[in-house]
Structure 1
Amino acid sequence: MIKYFNREANSYEIEKVAGDKYLKWTYSSPIGMKLLELLIKKKFFSKYYGWYCDTGFSKGKIQKFIDNFDIDEKEFKKLKSNYKCFNDFFTRELVTEARPINYDKSVLISPGDGRVLAYENIDINKLIQVKGFTYKLTDLLQNLELAEKYSKGSCIILRLCPTDYHRFHFIDNGICDETIKINGSYYSVNPIALEKIPKLFCENKREYSIFHSENFGDVIFVDVGATCVGSIIQTYAPCKKVKKGDEKGYFKFGGSTTILFFEKDKIKIDSDIIEQTNTGFETKVCMGEKIGLRL
């Protein structure tokens, strides 16, 4: 059971997890863990499932997914009948009014839909994955010089579950460098898996880029792949000016994670998000929603 804080309703809710029984069995049973290491975490497994979700054979999954997880069809930019495969639906664009963006220059917005954990004054050698599990920023980025710039800064972890809108966006006006890709495994990023696999973010396939923002300094965007994520697609043009809210990219099928790192004294994260993080709960947010302020 995954409980999160819904700040809009000011209440705690239980997350509907796609493949809940499968995840618990895989990451809790001896046979499941063995199968995980032998097959499920491998690129081949996720690539094959990603291929299937790109074919017309997967189209029949769309309506069942909408019904099971109460997906709001009014937000879709095009009719569901026009989706050619499951990934076409999964990476759907939304109508503009579905995700209003706070354009105040001092406001930090969420880059996507999901559940957020946030940390200030971070120790880059003991970043928190979950209680009891930590990792080093140098291991995540494989770049010591870059990692050291973010000592005592802030970290925001946005976990996208399969039911979320899966496009991610820029948090400010600015210029984003080329994306650097790091190969790795394909563990799930669900909390069930995070509590079982040490240094999971450092184990998984991931991509990162430096976003030179106008109002929040140099921000590291890290996009982490996961089980059954066919691809991480970057749609932005590197080294060209972008505007707040512009699309940066999207994940194909699967739960995924975007992690943001900010330099020291650049932002102040909203107190309710920090409070929920300190008590062990994620906070549900939507793309474009205020999650902090510029210092």
Structure 2
Amino acid sequence: MMKIAQTIRNIFANEDLNFLLTNRIPRHALTVFIGWFSKIESAWIRDLSIFIWRIFTDLDLSEAKKTQFKSLHDCFIRELKEGARPINDAESVLISPSDGIVGECGIIKNGQVFQAKGFPYQISDLLGSHIDPVSLEGGVYVTLRLTSAMYHRFHAPYSGVIDRVVYHSGDTWNVNPVALKRIENLFCKNERAAISMQIAAGRYKIYLVPVAAILVASIRLHGLDVTLNSHYRGSHHLKCALPCVKGEQLGWFEHGSTIILFAPSGFSLAPNIANGITIKMGTALFQLPPL
């Protein structure tokens, strides 16, 4: 079994085959099927699925709050034990909302950021026309990629109020590095939710954007009695006033993917943040402007 797993990993290491096998397939249909299959509450389906998942990934359930799961989906959106993710509670620090690998990060210039080297996109295309990109000019951004084995709940990066959620229906391209180097404006094409937050007593507005991908659609937010998925077409605006505390759970991906954060001018990247590093929820991501 391990030899088979290694053979498949070697196949996926070839960029051309990786792109072909994970994108040139019926992405939407496969994503809907996996969404249905993962929620089947059958002991043998659950156990077999998790067994296969462990073979091909570095799945670690030692931090999980519970040891028995109703389904593959239940395992995927698992909560962690109390204290598994310490929160940096310094007022000068905005924390990472999730576990993840830093893809791209840096300064927002001319309303533009990067999904990969040489592949820029306009933040207005990602966030929507109701956002004035000038408000983020000179600010900072970070892209966090969640692998399938990672913890998939996301949390408030700072205390504040969520004042708007805009769901954008879209495609389900894979968001791995291979696809990001080949598909222009990929994040802007995929299903996503732009979460607007007022933080620091309303002094600053930041944006948190969970982006879905193949096998990875549907986003659930606490405080909103709705699962955001492809049943909505176009843009779906949800005005709200949801208070949240730094580190508090905001929701989860039904099957995980990518989170992008944007903060306005005056914010800066925390000293340890750089492309390619793996970080955990609760660690420093941005520094707030000095008072």
Match of 1:240 among 237, 242, 255: 242
RMSD, matched Cα = 2.6
Equivalent residues of 1:23, 1:192 under 8 A apart = no
Distance 1:217-1:37 versus aligned 2 partners, 3 A rule:
same
State the shift of 1:116 in Å.
Answer: 1.5
Equivalent residues of 1:139, 1:202 under 8 A apart = yes
Could you tell me how far apart the structure 2 residues matched to 1:185 and 1:177 are?
A: 26
Amino acid at match of 1:260: L
Aligned to 1:286: 280
Equivalent residues of 2:86, 2:282 under 8 A apart = yes
Could you tell me how far apart the structure 2 residues matched to 1:289 and 1:30 are?
A: 32
Amino acid at match of 2:243: K
Match of 1:76 among 61, 64, 68: 64
Which region of structure 1 is more displaced relative to structure 2, 201-210 or 66-75? 66-75
Match of 2:178 among 184, 192, 203: 192
Distance 1:224-1:247 versus aligned 2 partners, 3 A rule:
same
TM-score, structure 2 length as denominator? 0.82
Amino acid at match of 1:221: L
Could you tell me how far apart the structure 2 residues matched to 1:69 and 1:24 are?
A: 14
Aligned to 2:73: 87
Equivalent residues of 1:268, 1:293 under 8 A apart = yes
State the shift of 1:39 in Å.
Answer: 1.6
Distance 1:168-1:22 versus aligned 2 partners, 3 A rule:
farther
Amino acid at match of 2:249: E
Equivalent residues of 2:19, 2:178 under 8 A apart = no
TM-score, structure 1 length as denominator? 0.81
Higher helix share: 1
Match of 1:225 among 212, 218, 224: 212
Gaps of 5+ in 1: 1-15
Aligned to 1:179: 165
SS at match of 1:180: strand
State the shift of 1:44 in Å.
Answer: 2.5
Equivalent residues of 1:154, 1:261 under 8 A apart = yes
Q: Deviations over 1:184-242 (max 9, x none)?
A: 11011111111111111011111112111117710011110000014211124541321
Could you tell me how far apart the structure 1 residues matched to 2:287 and 2:19 are?
A: 47
Amino acid at match of 1:28: D
Gaps of 5+ in 2: 225-239
Matched, 1:39 2:26: yes
Distance 1:211-1:227 versus aligned 2 partners, 3 A rule:
same
Could you tell me how far apart the structure 2 residues matched to 1:293 and 1:119 are?
A: 14
Could you tell me how far apart the structure 2 residues matched to 1:119 and 1:31 are?
A: 24
Aligned to 1:101: 87
Which region of structure 1 is more displaced relative to structure 2, 143-152 or 44-53? 143-152
Q: Deviations over 1:242-289 (max 9, x none)?
A: 1111111101224x1111110111x2212332xx33xxxx11000001
Could you tell me how far apart the structure 1 residues matched to 2:61 and 2:82 are?
A: 14
Aligned to 2:192: 206
State the shift of 1:46 in Å.
Answer: 0.8
Aligned to 1:268: 268
Aligned to 1:128: 114
